[in-house]
Amino acid sequence: MPLLGPEVLIATRNAGKVKEFVPMFEAKGIAVKSLLDYPELPDIVEDGDTFAANALIKARTIAERLGVPVVADDSGLCVDRLGGAPGVYSARYAGEPSNDAANNRKLLEELAKVEADAALQDGSDARGLSPARFVCAMALVDAEGRVVAEAEGACEGVIIGEPRGERGFGYDPLFYIPELGQTMAELTLEAKNERSHRGQAIRRLWEALS
């Protein structure tokens, strides 16, 4: 991975993401910097209609601004019963500014509405665990903003009715992985990186660069 060099810039201000990125890049001997190190830079307008489009927007915007290679990801939660929502709007599902607790409350409220509507329409009981997946698209661009590699990862699970776990961030406390018997927020950082959509995307990025 000569393009990355000894240090990589990750185009995010999400401290939770940075915490996950650090050990995965350090395992390759690469130090991590993020937009938390550049508070003077303005927020990036993420107006793409797919995770991949938003990842490229972030990577290219920062590469062109700073003149360095950049890795960016865009990720979110897609819930089957909500038609794939919140999707690309995951971070701001409950509105601006982004707030994890508010997003989780809205997610449960929207699922409750779907269950109530199903009961009214045909008398069925729609209560239960809704299949869902975390999706991550990742892009690496060079200092001129040209695409070097792209990768995607996904993690399947279900949404539970109340938060569990103190680790992670975002929707992790509601995202339950049946095979592990834990929510994403109950996993250690090492276990989460092994299983998560983001961990999968990074490993596929390494493969694309090898």
pLDDT one-digit tens code per residue, 12-37: 999 999 999 999 999 989 999 999 99
- Give strand ranges (E) for the chain: 7-10, 31-34, 70-79, 130-141, 147-159, 175-177, 182-183
Beta-carbon count within 10 A of 94 CB: 19
pLDDT band per the 50, 70, 90 thresholds, residue 125: very low
Is 60 exceeded by the pLDDT of residue 75?
A: yes
Question: What pLDDT sits at residue 17?
Answer: 94
Is 60 exceeded by the pLDDT of residue 97?
A: yes
End-to-end CA, the chain: 7
- Burial of 40: CB neighbours in 10 Å, binned 0-12, 13-18, 19+: exposed
In a domain, residue 123? The reply is yes
Q: Of 133, 141, 20, whose CA–CA distance to 87 is shortest?
A: 133
Backbone angles phi, psi at 55, to 5 degrees: -60, -45
Number of domains in the chain: 1
In a domain, residue 172? The reply is yes
pLDDT in tens, 188-205: 999 999 999 999 999 999
CATH of the domain at 44: 3.90.950.10
In a domain, residue 2? The reply is no
pLDDT band per the 50, 70, 90 thresholds, residue 126: very low
pLDDT band per the 50, 70, 90 thresholds, residue 115: confident
Is 90 exceeded by the pLDDT of residue 123?
A: no
Is 60 exceeded by the pLDDT of residue 124?
A: no
Binding-site residues sit at 12-17, 74-75, 169-172, 192, 197-198
pLDDT in tens, 138-158: 999 999 999 999 999 999 999
Domain that holds residue 87: 7-209
**In the chain, % of residues over pLDDT 90:** 84
Entry pTM: 0.91
Residue keyed to tokens 């996993």: 187
Q: For residue 23, give the DSSP letter.
A: H
Per the annotation, the verdict on 47 as an active-site residue is: no
In a domain, residue 85? The reply is yes
- d(C-alpha 172, C-alpha 121), whole Å: 32
Binding-site residues for Mg(2+) sit at 74
Q: Give the Cα-Cα-Cα angle 108, 166, 34 (nearest 5 degrees).
A: 95
Please tell me which residue in 43, 47, 74, 80 is annotated as part of the active site. Answer: 74
